[in-house]
């Protein structure tokens, strides 16, 4: 599919101290509820204490005393009044569940009579409402067999809801698990849907979920001329916000505060030390089968830009990379270089595989598997840049996937869209060290982190 800064002032990279933030991965199988709504006005409010988003009193805070998801809070008492008398369109996929893995679709359908609202339509992002389509696969419109609701596709020819799609709706509800990476397309489905809601005078509600990358912010901020569906607006490669916080930022920074936006917050969520609530991991897309994959994808997703398999068609997508022309001696040299970089929280081992799909399908490939040994210390984008640099320096046959069409600064390559800038590619081509690239993005990350403070709700 193409498809986290601490609350202190300075972002963390390299040798700097990193907060304990990836315990969220252990808890993404069980996240918490209490009716907490943050309204559009909160987008411009001065930052307060953790969890002090607008409307925090509507549900009495964390009434259940534990960690609760946005969808669970929506269905608790007074909070559900926000849907009364509304015709609702739900944007979701298989990750839209409560902590007991009950589908948000089923929960809202069942709550219609009590809540006094009507479920009118479903909208699916890349991979579809039921998650069956592969990366980039066509997702069409159809009638959902279980509910009888019309399902409209927001991936393919129509990425932004049309006025016709919205004319019979009053409110759009968004409930999808993001994984914190700019080139993961669900957040751009969110952006386009918010934009359409504003243009068509519809309310918009986001049911909040954790960010698997916590508050880490890494990578260059997207340059507007490289805008695409793997990066529409000017945010870093990892944005460090929950999907609800990101919606508030979109509204405040890019949509002129024009969206009638509510965020149904989580309860009991500390982004620096998430509760281990044992929520089962639901694949957000076919090639993100585990929480560990979600973390490494933010960096190893860049391998898509090379003529190297990023592991699609193997049992370890984005944790393994390889190609038929990578030999055992290449593997040894790559491991030596990556070990020498002393990257925190990661080890590499030789691994040979034969992908069944995508690049080098059916070919025996030499390569490496990444093993994350410390999720709290691991830096995905920094690691990804080191992997790109090592491959380009060590294996003569490694090239950008466009080959001869990716040679000059005037060219626009897939790596440019993924990194959000041509600077990464040009620095690598010029032989710059990976750490010089990391240093180059730190100032941008720091500025973006400062911008995020007014939108943080935890």
If DSSP codes are grouped into helix, strand and coil, which group holds residue 122? Answer: strand
Long-range contacts from 350-354, C-beta under 8 angstroms, 24+ separation: 351/316, 351/320, 351/322, 352/322, 353/311, 353/314, 353/316, 353/320, 353/322, 354/314
Same domain membership, residue 219 and residue 130: yes
Confidence of residue 429 (pLDDT cuts 50, 70, 90): very high
Would you say 22 and 271 are in contact if contact means Cβ atoms under 8 Å apart?
A: no
241: domain CATH number is 3.40.50.12170
295: domain CATH number is 3.90.1150.140
Confidence of residue 134 (pLDDT cuts 50, 70, 90): low
- Dihedral class, residue 156 (left if φ above 0, else alpha if ψ from -120 to 50, else beta): left
Confidence of residue 449 (pLDDT cuts 50, 70, 90): very high
Q: For the whole prediction, is pTM greater than 0.85?
A: yes
pLDDT at residue 111 greater than cutoff 90:
yes
H or E element at residue 443: helix 434-452
Helix axes 380-394, 434-452, angle to 10 degrees: 160
pLDDT at residue 49 greater than cutoff 90:
no
When divided into structural domains, the chain yields a total of 2
- Mean pLDDT is lowest, of 151-165, 210-224, 276-290, 433-447, for 276-290
Same domain membership, residue 240 and residue 295: no
pLDDT at residue 93 greater than cutoff 60:
yes
pLDDT at 210: 92
Same domain membership, residue 219 and residue 120: yes
Same domain membership, residue 307 and residue 281: no
Confidence of residue 268 (pLDDT cuts 50, 70, 90): confident
Q: How do residues 219-235 score in pLDDT, each as one tens digit?
A: 999 999 999 999 999 99
Q: Which of 18-32, 72-86, 276-290, 408-422 ranks highest by mean pLDDT?
A: 408-422
Is 323 inside any structural domain? Answer: yes
Is 419 inside any structural domain? Answer: yes
Domain ranges, residue 213: 24-286+450-455
Same domain membership, residue 384 and residue 277: no
Q: How do residues 291-341 score in pLDDT, each as one tens digit?
A: 899 999 999 999 999 999 999 999 999 999 999 999 999 999 999 999 999
Handedness of CA 8, 14, 20, 26 (dihedral sign): positive
Is 164 inside any structural domain? Answer: yes
Is 9 inside any structural domain? Answer: no
Work out whether strand 366-372 and strand 346-350 pair parallel, antiparallel, or are unpaired. Answer: antiparallel
Same domain membership, residue 405 and residue 272: no
């Amino acid at each position: 599919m193409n498809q986290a800064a601490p609350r202190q002032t300075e972002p963390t990279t390299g040798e700097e101290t990193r907060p304990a933030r990836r315990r969220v991965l252990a808890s993404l199988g069980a996240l918490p509820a209490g009716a907490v709504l943050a309204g559009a006005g909160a987008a411009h409010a001065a930052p307060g204490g953790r969890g002090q988003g607008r409307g925090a009193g509507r549900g009495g805070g964390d009434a259940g005393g534990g960690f609760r998801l946005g969808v669970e809070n929506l269905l608790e008492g007074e909070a559900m009044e926000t849907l009364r008398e509304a015709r609702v369109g739900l944007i979701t996929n298989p990750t839209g569940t409560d902590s007991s893995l009950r589908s948000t679709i089923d929960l809202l359908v069942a709550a219609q009579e009590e809540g006094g609202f009507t479920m009118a339509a479903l909208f699916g992002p890349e991979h579809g409402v039921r998650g069956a389509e592969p990366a980039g696969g066509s997702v069409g419109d159809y009638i959902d067999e279980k509910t009888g609701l019309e399902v409209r596709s927001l991936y393919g020819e129509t990425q932004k809801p049309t006025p016709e799609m919205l004319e019979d709706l009053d409110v759009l509800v968004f409930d999808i698990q993001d994984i914190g990476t700019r080139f993961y397309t669900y957040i751009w489905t969110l952006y386009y849907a918010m934009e359409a809601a504003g243009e068509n005078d519809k309310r918009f509600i986001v049911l909040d979920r954790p960010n698997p990358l916590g508050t880490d912010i890494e990578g260059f901020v997207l340059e507007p001329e490289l805008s695409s569906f793997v990066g529409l607006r000017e945010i870093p490669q990892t944005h460090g916000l929950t999907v609800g916080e990101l919606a508030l930022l979109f509204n405040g920074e890019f949509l002129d505060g024009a969206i009638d936006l509510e965020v149904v917050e989580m309860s009991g969520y500390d982004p620096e030390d998430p509760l281990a609530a044992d929520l089962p991991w639901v694949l957000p897309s076919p090639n993100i089968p585990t929480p560990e994959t979600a973390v490494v994808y933010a960096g190893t997703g860049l391998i898509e830009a090379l003529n190297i398999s990023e592991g699609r068609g193997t049992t370890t997508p984005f944790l393994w990379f390889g190609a038929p022309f990578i030999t055992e001696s290449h593997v040894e040299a790559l491991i030596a270089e990556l070990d020498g970089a002393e990257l925190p929280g990661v080890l590499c081992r030789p691994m040979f595989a034969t992908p069944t799909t995508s690049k080098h399908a059916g070919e025996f490939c030499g390569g490496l598997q990444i093993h994350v040994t410390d999720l709290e210390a691991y830096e995905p984008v920094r690691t990804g840049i080191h992997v790109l640099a090592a491959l380009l320096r060590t294996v003569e046959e490694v090239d950008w996937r466009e080959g001869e069409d990716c040679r000059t600064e005037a060219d626009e390559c897939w790596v440019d869209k993924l990194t959000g800038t041509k600077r990464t590619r040009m620095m690598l081509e010029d032989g710059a060290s990976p750490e010089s690239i990391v240093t180059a993005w730190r100032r941008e990350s720091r500025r973006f982190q400062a911008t995020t403070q007014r939108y943080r709700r935890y």
